[in-house]
Amino acid sequence: MKDVGDLIYIYDTTLRDGTQAEGISLTVEDKLKITSKIDELGVHYIEGGWPGSNPKDLEYFKRVKELPLKQAKISAFSSTRRAGCRVEEDTNIKALLEAETPVVAIFGKTWDYHVTMALKTTLQENINMIKDTVCYLKKHGREVIYDAEQFFDGFKANPDYALATLKAAAEAGADWIVLCDTNGGCLPEEIERIINRVQEEIKTPLGIHAHNDAELAVANSLAAVKCGARQVQGCINGFGERCGNANLCSVIPNLQLKMGLSTIGDLSLKRLTEVSRYVSEIANMNPMNNQPFVGASAFAHKAGIHVSAILKDPVTYEHINPELVGNRRRVLVSELAGASNILFKARELGLDLTKDSESTRRLSSEIKELEHKGYQFEGAEASLELLLQRSAGQKAEFFTLESLKILVEKRPANGNGEELINSEAMIKLRVGDQVMHTAAEGDGPVNAVDNALRKALEGFYPSLKEMHLVDYKVRVLDGKDGTRAKVRVLIESADSEGTWSTVGLSENIIEASWQALTDSMNYFLLRRRNKKT
């Protein structure tokens, strides 16, 4: 029997189960990058894919051998042999061995209904399939993890048969038996009751693989560990089919910080937020701001009373120190903010403001009035920083507008049925005592303004070439006013060092866009200037 000690082993299946999520498709290069990053986090196993299912995973397993991994063992995934087929002749098992990973994970049926309905075979043949496959893989020197698919539903339907499938894997020499809540519908008390029963019969180390269809995957994983499971399977950010898998970004800190168990270590835990965001970026998925522990909003404070309290002691409104998981505390400034919120932001920026000063009260009133009009600073912290800098008497504008004219020309369809719409912006800017007058075309009036701004300014500020627009959103605030309604424009920009957001508001969408766009450029230039000094 494998001796696992007191360590809780983390088995990451982001590259296999996680890619079954809607909207996620990873290239081999993507999978290799994520492998390296998750290895740096300190997880113990990384499941790379199913080598018998597609050429991409076959290539991954060839190339992953070249990675200088520090910690993780790479695991290849497959099913037990097919019914009525000799294990050594099964193509999936051949591919599994050809992947040449030190660890293999195979899944088998534990629910009698699935055996007869899905596999169309007998209950005894299913037992034989499990035993033959595990035994064969052990003879080839692999560490074998047996994933008992649909185990909890199978146990509830026929406990004797479900346990018989586990015994078959254990007797064949499986190093781990992982109990899967594949449908994701179990409650924590069911997980505990069933695992306690399993441990009366099975002495092989147990693991848990929970899906999140009832929003309980993390709770069920923790419940399993409480009952003696020593391996937890899951995905970074909870990616996975349907509602996802157990979110390792929540499982790991809960195990380590709340339950006091050993997993990846304190130093590695501080990289959790970085890894979470990296995987989202590679997977082309927007990070979930409200995700516990690692989300941008996980330690964000908005209400003035809350901020006043955390300035005295953060424990008043934070369940852990955000730095333990590599996150940071954020204070949002909005119409709900008090002087404490502004004071906190000022301290972050190194500005000399005091809570009871007239300038702080005036700034608080100004922000509340602006938000009442429709501005939203909690989603545009770069615009807020510029506002604070100006209120503190700091220079935060690097150019001033003399004039802006925009022409939009629409022509009838040509012979190919294509309409011609041309946008041109003519702009006059002052930088110091110099005036720059230029024009540029673009794909729409906002793009034309952006191009004209850059054309006018890049001679003075060449570094502007390094920033680019990431996202552009328009929100209509007063729909009942029709085309006269106010619109709020949020622009997200980025450079090699990060991203930032700015806001503009007007009844004129071009003016709102101008505000957000020029704030974005001024913020970029301000940050570059401060970095030099």
Dihedral angle, C-alpha 159, 160, 161, 165, nearest 10 °: 100
pLDDT value at residue 365? 75
Cβ(273)–Cβ(288) below 8 Å: no
DSSP class of 1: -
Q: Give the whole-angstrom CA distance, residue 430 versus residue 437.
A: 9
Mean pLDDT of the chain: 90
pLDDT value at residue 495? 85
β-strand partners of 495 = 498
Q: Is the pLDDT score of 228 beyond 60?
A: yes
Q: Give the whole-angstrom CA distance, residue 112 versus residue 159.
A: 10
pLDDT value at residue 355? 63
pLDDT value at residue 254? 98
Q: What's the topology of domain 9-282?
A: TIM Barrel (3.20.20)
Q: Determine the average pLDDT of the residues in 115-140.
A: 96
Q: Determine the average pLDDT of the residues in 438-447.
A: 92
Q: Determine the average pLDDT of the residues in 487-499.
A: 86
pLDDT value at residue 363? 72
pLDDT value at residue 415? 66
pLDDT value at residue 261? 96
Q: Determine the average pLDDT of the residues in 436-463.
A: 93
pLDDT value at residue 136? 98
Q: Give the whole-angstrom CA distance, residue 307 versus residue 322.
A: 15
**In 150-217, which ranges are E strands?**
176-181, 206-210
> What percent of the chain lies above the pLDDT cut of 90?
68
Q: Give the whole-angstrom CA distance, residue 308 versus residue 318.
A: 13
**pLDDT tens digit sequence for 377-430:** 766 788 888 888 877 677 778 999 999 999 998 877 766 767 778 899 999 999
Instruction: Phi first, then psi: give them for residue 145, nearest 5 degrees.
Output: -110, 120
Q: Is the pLDDT score of 485 beyond 90?
A: no
Q: Is the pLDDT score of 295 beyond 60?
A: yes
Q: Is the pLDDT score of 490 beyond 70?
A: yes
Q: Is the pLDDT score of 127 beyond 70?
A: yes
Cβ(173)–Cβ(142) below 8 Å: no
**Which positions ≥6 away from 139 have C-beta within 8 Å?**
none
Q: Which residue has the higher pLDDT, 473 or 191?
A: 191
The alpha-carbon radius of gyration of the chain (Å, integer) is 29
Q: Is the pLDDT score of 460 beyond 90?
A: yes
**pLDDT tens digit sequence for 302-339:** 776 777 788 788 899 899 999 999 998 877 665 545 55
Q: Which residue has the tokens 């012979």?
A: 415
Burial class from Cβ neighbours inside 10 Å (0-12, 13-18, 19+) for residue 241 reads middle
Residues in the chain: 533
Q: Determine the average pLDDT of the residues in 218-246.
A: 97
Written as one letter, the residue type at 41 is L
pLDDT value at residue 349? 65
Q: Lowest-confidence range among 6-15, 43-52, 248-257, 286-295? A: 286-295
pLDDT value at residue 350? 67
Q: Which residue has the higher pLDDT, 54 or 413?
A: 54
pLDDT value at residue 530? 78
Q: Lowest-confidence range among 108-122, 191-205, 281-295, 383-397? A: 383-397
